[in-house]
Amino acid sequence: MTDQTPSAMKTIRPKIRLYVEQPLGAGQPVSLSQEAAHYLIGVMRQGAGDAVALFNGQDGEWRAVITSAAKRSCVLTCEEQCAPQLDPPDLWLLFAPIKKARTDFIVEKAAELGVARIFPVQTGFTNSERIRRDRLQAHATEAAEQCGATFVPPVEELQPLARALADWPEGRVLFWADEGTVEGHKTGDIGDAPPGPAAILIGPEGGFSPNERTRLAALPFVQRISLGPRILRADTAAVAAITLWQARLGDWQSREAGNDPA
Residues that bind its own copies (CB under 8 A): 1-5, 7-8, 86, 105, 109, 112-114, 146-149, 177, 179-181, 186-187, 189, 202-207, 226-234, 236-237, 239-240, 243-244, 246-247, 250-252, 255-256, 258-259
Cα-based torsion angle of the residue sequence 123, 128, 132, 137 in order, rounded to the nearest 10 degrees: -40
Nearer to its own copies, 69 or 98 (CB): 98
Q: Whole-number minimum distance, CB 20 to its own copies, in Å?
A: 20
Q: Rounded to the nearest whole angstrom, what is the least distance from the CB of residue 85 to its own copies in the complex? A: 12
Q: How far is the CB of 2 from its own copies (least distance, A)?
A: 5
Task: Report the C-alpha gap between 51 and 161 in whole angstroms.
Answer: 44
- Which residue lies nearer to its own copies by CB, 69 or 161? 161
Q: Nearer to its own copies by C-beta: 70 or 257? A: 257
CA-based torsion, 256, 191, 210, 158: positive or negative = positive
* Burial class of residue 115, CB neighbours in 10 A (0-12, 13-18, 19+): buried
Query: How many other C-beta atoms can be found within 10 angstroms of the C-beta atom of residue 195?
Result: 12
Q: What is the nearest approach in angstroms of its own copies to the Cβ of residue 28?
A: 25
User: Shortest Cβ distance from residue 35 to its own copies (Å)?
Assistant: 24
C-beta closer to its own copies: residue 6 or 169: 6
When the beta carbons of 71 and 233 are compared against its own copies, the nearer one is 233
Q: What is the largest CA-CA distance in the chain?
A: 66
- Give the nearer residue to its own copies in terms of CB position, either 94 or 234: 234
Q: Phi-psi bin for 49: left (phi > 0), alpha (psi -120 to 50), beta?
A: left
> Residue 3 Cβ, how far from its own copies at the closest point, in Å?
5
- Whether the CB-CB separation of 66 and 49 falls below 8 Å is answered with yes
First to last CA, the chain: 25
